[in-house]
């Protein structure tokens, strides 16, 4: 388990134990780590604004009727967070997509209905180049998905340089006129914009 995931789960564990407390040893046993690791995790959470209190002999607990301080966002930051969460919800694996949907819901409550409607009225990603998805690329990728083939792709990265990637074709997600192609590469998901693909080769 990554540290970021453990920190989230520690907060959930403290919420489940509320209004009671848990000792560092109890938390350490639950996550199969040392007490020293839990001390560092708690310091990180407290520094991040999570309302955790602690006392020697009693352990740690969440402060009642409290929560992290409200987040102040500029409109540009809200747009970036909204679009990022929406893209992850559309293209990521089931767990990450579910987390992204919850993040969007939380952001919607902060922003209000009027701002949310404004965000939803804009395209998810603006196209800053003249490239468009090539029909042969889309057809080849659809064939690879249907037959569970690997593909070798040469694409143009954001620095306008050619890059090559090879992996199993997983899915194609339409976003307006765009298509996001998802590959599984060494057990990681890689997402590419179809209109930036120069060449694609199927490998049975």
Same domain, 143 and 170: yes
56 part of a folded domain: yes
Same domain, 105 and 139: no
The pLDDT of residue 94: 72
186 part of a folded domain: yes
Give me the CATH number covering residue 36: 1.10.10.10
The pLDDT of residue 78: 76
Q: Does the pLDDT at position 123 exceed 50?
A: yes
The pLDDT of residue 66: 46
Same domain, 42 and 93: no
198 part of a folded domain: yes
125 part of a folded domain: no
129 part of a folded domain: no
Same domain, 115 and 143: no
* Phi–psi pair at 187, nearest 5 degrees: 70, 15
Cα atoms found within 13 Å of the Cα of residue 167, Cβ hemisphere only: 17
Same domain, 139 and 193: yes
Give me the CATH number covering residue 148: 2.30.30.520
CA distances from 40 to 5, 47, 57, 145, 184 (A): 15, 11, 18, 44, 34
Count: domains in the chain: 3
What is the DSSP code string of 134-193?
A: -HHHHHHHHHHHHHT-EEEEEEE-TTS-EEEEEEEEEEEEEETTEEEEEEEETTEEEEEE
pLDDT tens-digit readout, 17-70: 888 889 999 999 999 999 999 999 998 888 777 888 888 778 998 876 444 444
Burial class of residue 117 (count of CB atoms within 10 Å of its CB; 0-12, 13-18, 19+): exposed
**Domain interval for residue 44:** 3-62
């Amino acid at each position: 388990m990554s540290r970021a995931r453990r920190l989230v789960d520690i907060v959930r564990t403290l919420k489940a134990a509320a209004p009671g407390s848990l000792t560092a040893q109890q938390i350490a046993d639950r996550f199969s780590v040392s007490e020293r690791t839990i001390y560092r995790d708690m310091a990180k959470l407290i520094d991040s604004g999570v309302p955790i209190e602690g006392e020697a002999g009693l352990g740690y607990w969440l402060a009642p009727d409290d929560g992290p301080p409200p987040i102040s966002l500029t409109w540009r930051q809200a747009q970036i967070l909204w679009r990022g969460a929406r893209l992850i919800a559309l293209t990521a694996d089931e767990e990450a997509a579910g987390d992204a949907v919850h993040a969007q819901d939380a952001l919607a409550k902060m922003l209000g209905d009027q701002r949310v409607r404004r965000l939803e009225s804009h395209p998810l990603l603006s196209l800053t180049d003249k490239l468009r998805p090539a029909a042969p690329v889309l057809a080849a990728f659809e064939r690879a998905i249907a037959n569970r083939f690997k593909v070798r792709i040469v694409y143009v990265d954001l620095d306008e340089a050619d890059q090559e990637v090879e992996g199993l074709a997983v899915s194609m997600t339409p976003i307006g006129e765009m298509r996001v192609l998802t590959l599984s590469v060494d057990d990681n998901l890689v997402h590419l914009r179809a209109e930036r693909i120069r060449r694609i080769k199927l490998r049975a």
